[in-house]
Structure 1
Amino acid sequence: MRFGILSPVVFRPPGQFSAWETGAGPDELVQVAEAADRLGYHHLTCSEHVGVPARIAARANGTYWDPLATLGFVAARTTDIRLATHVLVLGYHHPLEIAKRYGTLDRLSGGRVVLGLGVGSLKEEFALLGADFDGRGAAADDAIRALRAAWGQPLPEYEGTHYRFRDFLIDPHATRRRVPLWIGGYTRRSLRRAVELGDAWVPFGLPIEQITTMLAAVDRPEGFDVILTPPPLDPIEDPGGARRHVEQLHAAGATMMNIVLRHRSAEHCVEQLAAFRQLFAQAEWPAGTAR
């Protein structure tokens, strides 16, 4: 089992963020990121939305820091922790745009980028950006294949159903030929997409029982990850509850988790990260961490 964190400050869904995050900024983000890096957490995340309709933001979440800018900033202040988009909306980007921009970040960060990808669900945002909403599923599948072909290539070539390219120099580009692709979603199609085209499935908004049933219906490739998110945990005040939630998700099929912690400040978040690390000391932590 490996553990990453849903980064505080940059993404504030109801029920999963603390009041102090509303007024927090780069200093607090870096404080938490540096601690997670030092303690050996696998990854931190940053999600994407260009603009959230006001009617949704008023009752849900409207805060989404730009992932490329944010992860680039965090990359300069960390050394080992992976930098995961969670998730990029494929319909908002050309595959070569992702390969160029995040390939540059991958080079700058020493090969630490993880691309979480999704098809998107906000019809108004698609319209705002002039993107095709109704055909987004088929386009996303082709975009993933195109991205596989383009990643780490100076002169990529691809001929697909929606994307075609050749004879374009992409420089700089990633120095490695393969990047982990985590596919987000909550449908059976998202799971099939992950199994067929990706390296991991990152479901959201689903009960554990449904996740277990869906996973049982597919044959997962060797090394395929299932990344689940427990409810906010308090390893200092309720270590037993934290352990129960993690064990429950592990039993459901999780090989990795995005954890959210209860905290009152950036300093308290760092304390919680350390307490969680100690509580699960036998998990898969990189050697030499907790420095």
Structure 2
Amino acid sequence: MRVGIVTPVVVQLPGAHAEWEVTAGIEEIAGIAATADRLGYHHLTCSEHVAVPAGVAEQRGGTYWDPLATFGHLAAYTRRILLATRVLVLGYHHPLEIAKRYGTLDRLSGGRLVLGVGVGSLAEEFDLLDVPFRDRGARADEALRALRSSLGERVAEFHGTYYDYADMVVDPHATRRSPIWVGGRTARSLRRAVEHGDGWVPFGLRTAELGELLSRFALPAGFEVVLSTGAPLDPLADRDRTLRALDRLRAAGATLVSVSLHAESAAHHRDQLAALRDLDTELDLSFAPRA
């Protein structure tokens, strides 16, 4: 089981982020990213919301750093760790917009893009951006087919109900067809991931629910099941709980895990990364060699 990190600071959910994150800037994030890269972690994450209604922000949070700008900066401070959008809302973008903008990120980062995508659920944000909400699932399925056809291609072509184009040059473009992880918490999201993606990123599900959903599908070879730790882990102060939490995720079917860490400062977060890295042999965790 490989290990990535839920990047601190870039998403701040009510009651789920540390005080230091409120005032932290790109320097702190870059230091954490560089440490994770050096220690051999698999990926960083960054999510997307354009604008969240004030009332909704009280439950979902209002701080969401833009993934394209954030990863563009972090790419310069890292050299191996993958840059995973978690998640990009498909309905907010034309597939060729994603192919161009995130393909450029893949090119400048040396082929390190992972497109984590989702259907979206915030109707007010869809309305703000003047994109359809009611049929967003069908549109997302077609957008995924278009991305699989066009991502990494200089001359793109796709013909569908919602998206139709041919002989369109996308340059620069991704160095290869970047992996696509599909987020969600339903059987439909897992089906979407199996049919159109390379991995599934579920959220808000109990272990038994995960097992039941995963048992319904024959997962393709190399398909990633990307689970999250949920509550932050503290490998420095509570090593045993950290080991138990990661062992439960492995038993639930995780091939990859995105870890949230308890930290009281950016320096403490970097220390936690090192402490977790040192547990690799006890759980047979897979890290890239230390740089």
Task: Tell whether the 8 Å contact from 2:182 to 2:199 is kept in structure 1 after alignment.
Answer: yes
State how 1:27-66 maps to structure 2 within 5 Å.
27-66=27-66
Give structure 1 stretches of 5+ with no counterpart: none
Specify the code of the residue in structure 1 equivalent to 2:238: D
**Structure 2 residue aligned with 1:190:** 189
CA deviation after TM superposition for structure 1 residue 191, in Å? 0.6
| Offset at residue 59 of structure 1 (A) | 3.0
Deviations along 1:52-79, one digit per CA (max 9) or x if unpaired, are 1111112331110000000000001111
Counterpart in the other structure of 2:18: 18
The superposition leaves residues 17-68 of structure 1 with CA deviations (integer Å, 9 ceiling, x where unpaired) of 2110001001110110000000000000100000111111123311100000
Q: Equivalent residue for 1:8?
A: 8
* 1:169 CA drift (Å): 1.3
For 2:91 and 2:60, the matched residues in 1 are separated by 22
Partner of 2:209: 210
1:276 corresponding residue in structure 2: 276
Alignment TM-score, normalising by the size of structure 1 = 0.97
Which stretch of structure 1 is more off in the superposition, 188-197 or 55-64? 55-64
Deviation at 1:212, TM superposition (A): 1.0
In structure 2, the residue corresponding to 1:202 is in which secondary structure?
Answer: strand
The residue aligned with 1:223 is 222
Tell me the residue number matched to 1:130: 130
Native 8 Å contact 1:150 1:156 kept in 2: yes
Higher alpha-carbon deviation: 222-231 or 275-284: 275-284
Structure 2 gaps of 5+ residues are none
- Offset at 1:250? 0.7
| Distance in structure 1 (CA, Å) of the matches to 2:272 and 2:14 | 20
Q: Deviations over 1:108-151 (max 9, x none)?
A: 00000000000000000000000100000000000001011111
Match of residue 83 from structure 2? 83
Q: 2:288 aligns with which of 281, 286, 289?
A: 286
Paired with 1:235 and 1:17, the residues of 2 have a C-alpha distance of 17
Across the aligned residues of Structure 1 and Structure 2, the Cα RMSD in angstroms comes to 0.9
Superposed, 1:83-232 pairs within 5 Å as: 83-176=83-176, 178-230=177-229, 231-232=231-232
Contact residue 280 and residue 287 of structure 2 kept, 8 A: no
Deviation at 1:14? 3.2
Name which of structure 1's ranges 205-214 and 92-101 shifts more when overlaid on structure 2: 205-214
Query: What SS is found at the alignment partner of 1:114?
Result: strand
Aligned-partner Cα distance in 2 for 1:143–1:217: 24
CA deviations on 1:243-285 (whole Å, 9 max, x unpaired) are: 0011011101111000000000000000000000001243211
Q: What letter corresponds to residue 159 of structure 1 in structure 2?
A: H
CA distance in 2, matches of 1:87, 1:245: 23
What is the SS of the residue equivalent to 1:166? strand
| Contact 1:48–1:67, Cα closer than 8 Å, also in 2 | yes
Partner AA of 1:134 in structure 2: R
Residue 248 of structure 1 aligns to a residue whose secondary structure is helix
Instruction: Report the AA paired with residue 182 of structure 1.
Output: W
Corresponding residue for residue 263 of structure 1: 263
SS at match of 1:214: helix
Q: What is the alpha-carbon distance in structure 2 between the residues aligned to residue 73 and residue 257 of structure 1?
A: 24
Work out the CA distance in 2 between the residues paired with 1:262 and 1:53. Answer: 28
One-letter code aligned to 1:250:
R
> How far apart are 1:161 and its partner, in Å?
2.1
228-237 or 278-287, larger mean C-alpha shift: 278-287
Alpha-carbon distance in 2 for matches of 1:264, 1:86: 24
Report the identity percentage: 57
Distance in 2 between residues matched to 1:139 and 1:59, nearest whole Å: 27
SS in 2 for 1:157: strand
For residues 168 and 220 of structure 2, the distance between their equivalents in structure 1, rounded to whole angstroms, comes to: 33
SS of alignment partner, residue 104 of structure 1 = helix
Find the residue that maps to 2:116 and give its secondary structure. strand
Indicate if the aligned counterparts of 1:152 and 1:174 stay in contact, CA closer than 8 A: yes
1:187 deviates by: 1.2
